[in-house]
Structure 1
């Protein structure tokens, strides 16, 4: 039994969906609408004390934090591997993952944007500039890393955890109209990944809790 607690537009949940799909793991989904604060409900906090998505319920326990969940998946379901076999390669991929998951995403997730508006009275223009700034700085660095180590994907010639993180973050950038022109390698990798069923099926628009298309 594997149950993913998430939200269709959460980029962290999106990462885990990709990893689950790449591994060919069947799972159920439980949605928690971040816009209405469902993730803060007491019954969900018993599962995920921070009140954040994603959380993964398994027979072996409950896991939180998307990067920890993905590494658990890679250890329990080793084929195909999402981390390189050699220690230097694993370190490089983990650095790419951290660049997105630790340096870009936390500054642009919903609770931070809500705080900017509520606590600092930032308007839409200021919030959008904030989003573009941190995505841009992170993507500029990732573009360089990919230039050194990529061969069709972020690292090497097959998807890794770095690609699981990149594609959802590009989705977030597109959602907020961030200019992606300066990052041709990231755009090329994202397009290649989106052609793969594991990535395509994980797209937010294809999730059962997605908003209906007008």
Structure 2
């Protein structure tokens, strides 16, 4: 093994150890996060910090979430191999790439055309052919493809958006940060049953706000 290869292997071991120490124990989630290298999703000055458990800035004033939060959200969603998943907030594409290893089909939408274009290129390079990415208003979901077995929202809403709740299949799960954008928010697990929606508070988080409309960049 080359010196660089040994360094990469050591960083990967530390990366996975950090995930486990934060409570990510689902073997399928850990395997997906081991398989999807976070490095290519971070460009420029912060590329060297790709394997640290911290959020980092990306284009369009957005962020890539810290890996432990990505893992905890993914684990909480309890994704099954035949599930159809909707992600709101493509961002770097990292979360969608991990979801693609766990679900049958992933649909991801972002308000910034630039981010969607960059993510599509990465999905193509990684041969992740079960992801469909679209520029659009995430608060409206993706009605043409509804219902979804799982929905993951990577931006904070004051309340779970009603269009997204409507697009969640019976028995489906939505993971969404809820709260004011300038304060600590709560990550909420919403489960839809025949009788309505059950809400479970998971952990405090901090995400960029979920905004209506399209971004200017």
Structure with greater helix share of residues:
1
User: One fold, TM greater than 0.5?
Assistant: no
Give TM-score scaled by structure 2 length: 0.30
Determine which structure has greater relative contact order: mean sequence separation of CA pairs < 8 Å that are 6+ residues apart, divided by chain length. Answer: 1
Give TM-score scaled by structure 1 length: 0.30
